[in-house]
Structure formats: C-alpha cells, structure tokens
Chain A
C-alpha cells in the first residue's frame, strides 16, 4: 500500500545514496582505512566458560549475576515441588492472589495441572486485555545461553509472548539439553533454514532500569522476578 509520493521518496533516497557514494569513490581509493571485510570468528568463547564446571552451572551463575533465580531439578516431582515452593513463598510475601497465566505449551500445561496448590485462577494464553490481571506467567523456553544466563523464546513454537512479559512474576521451564554455551550458537539455532520466526525474544534476568539517579530498580515494565527451573 505504497502511495505514489512514497515510492518517489524511496527512489530519491536510493538515488541520493548512489550519487553521494559515487562522489566519494576517488577519495576512497586513497583511504587506507577501508579494508576488505575480514572473515568473522564465530562461536567466540568468553573467559567465563572455560572456568565453569558445567554448562548448566554456568547458566545458573550467569543468571544469578543479573538477579534472576535459577533452580536445577532432575525429574517431574522435583520440578513440581520447586514450582510449588516458589508460588507458596510468593503468596506469603508479595502476591495477594495466585492467578496463573500459562503458555500454550502442552508440557507446561500438563505440569501446571499437576500442581497441588490452591490456585485462584489458571488461564492458557490470556488475551492482551486480560493478561494484566495475572500474578504469575509460566512458560517453557526454546533454548538457553549459558555465558549470559539468557532464555530464548521463539513465539512461533510457543505462545508465551505476553505470559512471559506482563505478569509480575515469570517462571520458565528449561530443558538442560537446550542450553548452548554462547550467543553465537543461539543465533545460529534461530536461523535453521532460511526463515526466522516472526518474534524471537532473548530474556536475561528480570526487567531492570537505572533511569533515576542510576540506582538499580528491578521490575519496571517486565517481570519483577524471573525464575528459571532447569530440568536436567
């Protein structure tokens, strides 16, 4: 739906780019700074990785460094126990109710169904209008990045865009096998084949700001608390 004037602007801008580049061509020949593009070193490993004992431990250390909480469990019952404890503590401290929004992942729904706790409400992917009423969002994650403690959320594989963002608490369930070491590896995962999913979000810790006097405040627009439960 481009208007006539707009495609005119497009052509004018591209023409301006070409004509100005042409002006610089003689000068460029004399510039030693213009070097041919060097090949990239991919899969750069930060110093932190070599020191850590395991990729799961490194993920935990990195996430805790940015105020996220990380629990490592080994089976369903430990996982349910961990989530139940998180919710019970939250109910006793900061939350006045337990309204839980879950993503459409069948595994997440199955696990939440097994929680033996009196939940005030459970809804699967509430709408943009309703999602503001929930206290906790629970989702899976498509990958983790150990060197930064990052979750990779691919919204074409799970509807967790709002569930992971709007409620004040986000609990993510991550399979240990999905954790990669570096950002570079995660980016290549995102690009399997030619297509990239419409929305991929990387999440590293709870929402934060230092806009007032540079004092760190956790949870300005996104979740105030982020729990990652790793199933290994």
Chain B
C-alpha cells in the first residue's frame, strides 16, 4: 500500500472518488455516527450549555497553558509519575526508544493513540528492533495490513470483513470466515499472548487533570485497561494541549466526547490513572512515564484563531458531517488527522509548504462548526490558513494576477456605468470562450486555455446573458 502524503491531496482525492467500496463504507460510517451523535446530543437538554462550558474551559487552559502544565506535572510527579518533554516527534520517539532499551524491552503493546501516529512511533521502535503490537482491533487490523487509519474513531472502516478475513488467514493462519464475531475473537486470543508477554504498555491520553495529576483515558474494548495494567512499565504519550484544570471538569468532557464520537452516553471504560501504585502488592505498573509532546502545538498559541485548534478533543464528529470527508475518506488527507479538523491541524503541525491543498479541501459549509463539541470555528480557521498561503506561501507571486483580477472586479462592480459597459463588451467577446453553455470548457479536447482557467477548472462560469435583467425589465415596461 502506498502511503500518500498531504502534498498530493488533489490526486489522493481523485483516487478515493473512484473507489466505490471506500465510498460505500464512508456513507455507512458517516451516516451512522452522524445520526447517533444527533440522537445522543438531543438526549441531553443542556447540550449547548455543555459545549459553551467545554470551550470556556479549553480557552482558559490554553491562555494559561504554562501554569496548568506545571500544576499537572507537579501533582503527577508527587504521585510517582516521571515526565519527559519532547519538542518534536523525533525527540519523543528517542525518549521512548531509550526507555525501552534501558529496560531491555523486546515487546511493547500499544493502545490507540493519535499522538503516536503523529510521531510515527512504531517505525522508530521497529528500527530499534523492538516489536510493537497495536491492540485496538481497528489499529491491529491496519497494522497487519501495513496501512494507516482512515477515521479517527473507526480506523479500519475502509476494509471489508472479507478483506480482514483474508488478512487474518494470511497473517494469523486463521481458517477462512466472514463471521465478524469469529474475527473479533481471533484478535482477542492472538493479542492476549502479546499482553501477557509485553514488557511495556504505551497509551495515549484523552485528558490530563491539572488539579490531581490524573491521566484520563477512554475506550470501549478494554485494551487500554490491559495495556495500562499488565506490563511492568506504562508510557503515556500526551500532547501538551490535553490538560484540563479541575477533576470535576471531566464531567463535562465525558458527557461530550462519547456522545460526539460514537453517540454513546459513556464509553465502556474510563481509566483514571494517578501516579504509580502505592504498595508493592497492589496491582498495576511499577513505573509510569508521561511523554509531553509539543511538535508544533505551542506555535498555534500565537493567534486566537489558530489557538482554538488546540481545543480539539479528537471525537471525529466533524469528519462525519463533512461533505468532503464523506466523499474521499481519511487517507486522502495524507495525515493522521483527516477531515475538517485535519485540514486545519495538519498544515499547522507540518507547515503550509507541504500541505497547501488541505485548507482548500472544504466548501466552507460550516457543518463541522455546528457539531464540534468544543465549538471550534473550523471555517474561520480554514480561511485564516488560506490567507496565510496567499500572503506568504510560494504561490504568493503566482497569485498576483488573481489579485489584479479581483481589483478590476471591484472597480467594475462599484461603478454602474463601467459595469454596463463591460457587460456589453463581454457579450461581444465571450463567444470565443463559450462551449456547451459554459465559459472555458470544451468537450473532448479539454479546457480552452483562458486567463480564467484557474477559476473555471473547478467551477462552472455561466456566460453573460444576451439581455441583462435591466434590459428585460425596461422592455417589459415599454410593452405594457
């Protein structure tokens, strides 16, 4: 499988549009999760209040991120957690590889973590000759298939049960079946051996509670509980933006996150982990290491518009309602973060140079903003990034003609006499450009090269009518 990148978004999207199996799966996941989210939100009569409160908490955290982080770290350290700070992906991976090799770890079990997907931790561990096994069912499937997640909540949604059965037959020697229960139990039994043998468990973090130094992780399968309780060492990888101030704040986020993600009232398991065990005979890991990852996050604090990207709680609701994601799925975005939130986070994490097309992968319809449990104004962010590309990107020079065109447009539109004149002139000269009732498109031989191609290649431009509305109006007045 080719690992596509964000640089080739347009090509990726075209390939996805031609994949009917993928589009069928996308219809299913986005409509099901979308409906469930709506029903779950309606089951609470204070949904809008919850959203506002969650956003207010996140704004408060982000405006004082340094002090909340220090509070979180101090409280967790006082309970036995050890902290490691990573400015970028390479530092995070190096820290984890060193922790692993110092403990002679040969096998690591891992629960689903977007942050470690972002840093490509698995590749780094494998390069250090350490076996790493994904244990979330969807992540396990795509690890076996050597692919990448296509949806934040359902990573393997692009694969059919037949493809998964074939994969399990090949990789695990399982007899062929199309029974999903059997596939699931095969994964259960295969992974149990890995859990039992693992030296280290690696997890992500949903929320870090500053007041108590608690790590909160949510899930449905139980693999996070196994990952964080069986191996001797637990390493949690956490983006620096994941802090919330107070223990009681978890109430609000635990109401919003599962309802927005899968439409559940509560996911099956929430693990609240505060430091290490207090006595040798109690259950659980002896060591808890928390890796705090920046990797471009602190940069987003520099502007109120970009800062709100850090409020994201990774629920995936914006993917499900996005008309673009619904058609092309997650892989086309070429990043661990797909959909509307990916279109704004990926360019900020990886730099606009390599991700120029992503902020344009939106019709700006605003559905993402409507469903976001923390009210991130994604359309505004997209426009902000688009203007950054136009002002500073390598395309800035090429856009000089665009700028000139819009300037001309503005002058024309604000002077009635000029508008009338140009409509008349346009009517005379447009004949050379009109094909099939549209400007700039010709069937069979592609597009007519016009100065307007940049505009018309993705949009229909109607020719100027023979008579303007004013002319029709005046003519009808004369008749009567």
Contacts and interface: CB of A to CB of B under 8 A. Distances in A.
Interface stretch (B296-304, B321-329, B418-426, B472-480): B296-304
Interface in B258-273: 262, 264-273
B141 to A, nearest CB: 7
Nearest to B273: A199
A35 B53 CA distance: 10
A140 to B, nearest CB: 15
A204 B225 CA distance: 13
Contacts of A196: 212, 214, 247, 272, 274
Contacts of B282: 155-156, 159, 198
Interface stretch (A72-80, A172-180, A187-195): A187-195
Interface residues of B, number: 102
Contacts of B70: 14
A210 B137 CA distance: 9
B66 A212 contact: no
B222 A47 contact: no
Contacts of A161: 225, 229, 283-284
A139 to B, nearest CB: 12
Interface stretch (B79-87, B364-372, B395-403): B79-87
A114 interface: no
B250 interface: yes
Given A199-B273, A217-B184, A35 B304 contact: no
B307 A24 contact: yes
Interface in A196-232: 196-215, 217, 219-223
B318 interface: no
Given A28-B304, A128-B230, A159-B282, A209 B83 contact: no
Contacts, number: 264
Contacts of A187: 247-248, 250-251
B161 interface: yes
A24 B308 CA distance: 12
A48 B42 CA distance: 12
B301 A38 contact: no
Nearest to B241: A17
B140 to A, nearest CB: 9
B184 A212 contact: yes
B69 A162 contact: no
B28 interface: yes
A211 B248 contact: no
A110 interface: no
A212 B137 contact: yes
B225 A165 contact: yes
A202 B46 contact: no
A52 to B, nearest CB: 14
A18 B66 CA distance: 7
Nearest to B182: A217
Interface stretch (A5-13, A82-90, A115-123): A5-13
B15 interface: no
Nearest to B94: A5
A93 B272 CA distance: 35
Given A17-B69, A38-B52, A219-B188, A200 B303 contact: no
A201 B269 contact: yes
A184 interface: yes
B275 A13 contact: no
Interface stretch (B2-10, B54-62, B429-437): B54-62
Contact of A6 (B43, B95, B247): B95
B147 to A, nearest CB: 13
B38 interface: no
A2 B248 CA distance: 31
A183 interface: yes
Interface in B212-236: 212, 214, 220-223, 225-226, 229-230
Contact of A209 (B63, B65, B221, B298): B221
B66 A191 contact: no
Contact of B266 (A20, A184, A195, A204): A204
Given A17-B65, A18-B66, 4 more contacts: A16-B298, A40-B249, A201-B272, A219-B188
21 contacts: A10-B292, A12-B87, A13-B240, A14-B66, A17-B66, A23-B301, A23-B302, A24-B304, A42-B251, A47-B44, A162-B283, A165-B229, A196-B272, A197-B274, A198-B284, A204-B269, A208-B220, A211-B137, A212-B161, A213-B160, A214-B32
Interface of A: 1-2, 6-7, 9-10, 12-14, 16-18, 20-21, 23-24, 27-28, 31, 33-38, 40-42, 44, 46-48, 62, 66, 125, 128-129, 132, 147-148, 150, 155-156, 159, 161-162, 165-166, 183-184, 187-188, 190-191, 195-215, 217, 219-223
